[in-house]
Amino acid sequence: MKTFHKSHKLDNVCYDIRGPVMDEANRMIARGETILKLNIGNPAPFGFRAPDEVIDAMQSNLTATEGYSDSKGLLSARQAIADYCVNVKHIEGVTPDDIYTGNGASELITMSMQGLLDNGDEVLVPAPDYPLWTASVTLAGGTAVHYICDECADWYPDLDDIRSKITPRTKGIVIINPNNPTGALYPRELLEEIAQIARENGLIIYSDEIYDRLVMDGLEHTSISSLAPDVFSITFNGLSKSHLIAGYRCGWMTLCGEKSHVKGYIEGLNLLSSMRLCSNVPAQSLVPTALKNAYTTKELLVPGGRIYEQREFIYNAINDIPGMSAVKPKAAFYIFPKMDMRKFNITDDEKFVLDFLKEKKILLTHGGGFHWETPDHFRIVYLPQLDQLQQAAEGLRDFLATYRQA
C-alpha cells in the first residue's frame, strides 16, 4: 500500500511544544489520571470568563455574519482596530486598509512569513521565542536566526547580539513584547534602539503585541510602531488573551509606517489573505465592542486581581526553592524559571519536564520548546487558581529536593 509521510516542507519545522511530553500527558489522561496543566496560555479552562458584552455582541451579530466578509475583514472591525492603533497605541496614520483580521494572530504570523521569504532568507527571532515564529519562518523556506534575550537584563533583547547576527540575507526582526515565555515588557528606549537597528539595516519589524493589554505594576506598553513611522513594521494583536476568548480565534495584523518600498510584499499579503477567503466573521463582529472596552481585564492585573496575585505567588514560590530562580514577569501570564544545572545535574530539560510529569502529574514546557538552547529553563503558565499553583510549587520543591539526572 502507498504510504504517506509529512511533506518535506516540514522537515526542519520544529514545534517542540508538542512531542514526547505531550504524548505522555495524553497517555496519562487516557488512563484516567488528572494532570495539572501549566503548559498552555488558554484562560477559559481556568475559570476566566469573557466579558458579557463581548458574548452579547457576537450573539446578536450571528445572523448578519453568516456570509464571507471582505478578505481583510469587516470594515467595522478594521475601523475599530485602526482607531485603537491611532488613539491608544499612538501609531500614526493607520487606516482600515492596513488591517487584516485572522483566525487568531497565529494565522497572520504564518501568512506574514509566507508572503515575505524566499529560500535561505533570514529573520531575526528572539531566544527564547514563542515557537510559532521560528516554525513560520522555517515553513516559509527561511532561516530563523535567534538573538539572545538576556535574563540578567530583565530578559531584554541583547542589542549587540542582534547587530552581530545581521547578514545581507536578513529581511526582518521579530520582537515579542510583552513577551511569551518570559513575561518581559520592553521600555521605550530599548524599542527605539531596536527601531534604529532596523532603520540602519533596512529590516522589517514584526512586533507581536498580543499581550499588550495584560501589563502589571502600573507600567504601560509601548508599540515599537509608534516610535518609527519611517520604518515599515507589522504589529500582531488579537482578543485571545486580553478578552479571554482564545477559542473564538480573533486576531489581526496591522501594517504600519513607511510603505513605499514594500508594495510588492503587500500585494503578496493580499493574495494570501484572499486565498483563505476571510477569517471567522462572527468573531470579527465583536471587535468594536471589545476594543471599546479594552480595559476589561484591568481588574485582574492590579493587587487583589487574579492574575496579579497569581504572579506574586508563583514568583515568590519559585525563588524560594533552593536551586531555582526567576525574573519577575511584568506582563502576560508566564514565568520562565531557571534551574541550577550543576545542583540538579540537568543535561536534558525535556527529560526533566517528562520526569516531573510522571512523578507529580504536573505539565510544564521545557525551555528548548522556546528555542532556549541551554537545558536549564522551563515555562509555567500561572493562569490556574492559587491552590493549584501552590500544589505546583510544592510539587517542584519536593521533586527537586532529590532529583538529579544521571
> Which residues form the interface with ligand PLP (CB under 6 A)?
41, 104-106, 130, 176, 180, 208, 210, 238, 240, 246, 251
| 3-state SS string for 94-147 | CCHHHEEEECHHHHHHHHHHHHHCCCCCEEEEEECCCCHHHHHHHHCCCEEEEE
User: What CA–CA distance (Å, rounded) separates 369 from 365?
Assistant: 7
Contact 376, 341 (CB under 8 A): yes
The residue sitting closest to ligand PLP, measured at its beta carbon, is 104
> Which residues, in sequence order, are CB contacts of 162 under 8 Å at separation 6+?
124, 147, 173, 194, 197
Secondary structure class of 377 (helix, strand, coil): strand
Residue 41 or residue 368: which is nearer to ligand PLP going by CB? 41
- Shortest Cβ distance from residue 31 to ligand PLP (Å)? 28
- Shortest Cβ distance from residue 18 to ligand PLP (Å)? 14
Residue 381 or residue 400: which is nearer to ligand PLP going by CB? 381
- Shortest Cβ distance from residue 397 to ligand PLP (Å)? 27
Residue 346 or residue 369: which is nearer to ligand PLP going by CB? 369
Residue 125 or residue 393: which is nearer to ligand PLP going by CB? 125
- Shortest Cβ distance from residue 238 to ligand PLP (Å)? 4
User: Which of 379, 372, 385, 394 shows the shortest CA–CA distance to 40?
Assistant: 379
Residue 42 or residue 388: which is nearer to ligand PLP going by CB? 42
- Shortest Cβ distance from residue 333 to ligand PLP (Å)? 10
- Shortest Cβ distance from residue 251 to ligand PLP (Å)? 4
Please give the single-letter amino acid code of residue 327: V
Residue 208 or residue 349: which is nearer to ligand PLP going by CB? 208
- Shortest Cβ distance from residue 343 to ligand PLP (Å)? 30
CB atoms within 10 A of CB 221: 18
CB atoms within 10 A of CB 404: 9
In a 10 Å sphere around its CB, with 0-12 CB exposed, 13-18 middle and 19+ buried, how is residue 150 labelled?
A: middle
Residue 77 or residue 346: which is nearer to ligand PLP going by CB? 77
Residue 211 or residue 356: which is nearer to ligand PLP going by CB? 211
In a 10 Å sphere around its CB, with 0-12 CB exposed, 13-18 middle and 19+ buried, how is residue 66 labelled?
A: exposed
Backbone angles phi, psi at 229, to 5 degrees: -65, -15
Residue with cell 529536593: 401
- Shortest Cβ distance from residue 345 to ligand PLP (Å)? 31
User: What CA–CA distance (Å, rounded) separates 48 from 310?
Assistant: 13
User: Which of 332, 301, 328, 302 shows the shortest CA–CA distance to 314?
Assistant: 328
